[in-house]
Structure 1
Amino acid sequence: MTIQVARLSDPAVRAFVTAVNAHDREAFEAVLAPGATMADDGSDHDLADWTEREIFSSHGHMDVDNESRGGHALVVRYSNDTWGEMKTRWSFTVDGGKVTRFETGQA
């Protein structure tokens, strides 16, 4: 069962998912802290390059199945034009209302 994005507990994570699903690069960048970092399957990647490839140019979409750790950990059915749909986990570090780091990988 999918959790409505508006019901996600953490406002920064909610804004992140909303921006991804709207393909709104400006809103996405606004939720990230300066110098934010990310990792995919345990390997750090250049955030701008990865998000362009995996989210924006490939029409990424997040359907949230559950959340834990106060909304900082999600299990998501993630889909994009490159990989189709897969179950993924997302973990967020939030400071001052901004995402400072996110990590994703297959669930």
Structure 2
Amino acid sequence: MTIQPAKLRDPAVRAFVHAVNSHDREGFMSLLAPGATMADDGADRDLAVWIDQEIFSSHGHLEVDSESRGGRALVARYRNDTWGEMRTRWTFTVADDGRISRFETGHA
């Protein structure tokens, strides 16, 4: 059963999913702490290049199936125009100011 983005527990993660699904690059970038980092399948990636290729230019979309760690870990069906749909895991580190300092994703 899919969890509606508005029902996600962590406000930063909720806003992240909303920005991805609404293709709001400006809103997405405002959620990230200065110097934010990310990893895909265990390998650190260039954040700007990755989000352009995997989210915004390929119309990424998240459908969350479950959340844990107070809403900072998700299992979701992620789809984009490049890879189609896949089951993924997402974990988030949120800084004291409420912005995301790191996220990691990969196959679930």
Is the structural similarity TM-score above 0.5? yes
Identity of aligned residues (%): 73
Listed one character per residue, the Cα deviations across residues 6-55 of structure 1 (whole Å, up to 9, x for unaligned) are 00000000000000000000000010001000000000000000000000
Structure 1: runs of 5 or more not aligned: none
Indicate the residue corresponding to 2:105 in structure 1.
104
- Name segments (4+ residues, structure 1) moved above 4 Å: none
Indicate the residue corresponding to 1:68 in structure 2.
68
Structure 2: runs of 5 or more not aligned: none
Deviation of residue 88 (structure 1)? 0.1
TM-score (norm 1): 0.99
In structure 1, how many angstroms separate the alpha carbons of the residues matched to 2:51 and 2:75? Answer: 18
Residue pairs, 1:1-107, within 5 angstroms: 1-95=1-95, 96-107=97-108
TM-score (norm 2): 0.98
In structure 2, how many angstroms separate the alpha carbons of the residues matched to 1:31 and 1:15? Answer: 7
In structure 2, how many angstroms separate the alpha carbons of the residues matched to 1:14 and 1:27? Answer: 12
Listed one character per residue, the Cα deviations across residues 52-103 of structure 1 (whole Å, up to 9, x for unaligned) are 0000000000000000000000001000000000000000000121000000
**RMSD of aligned alpha carbons:** 0.4
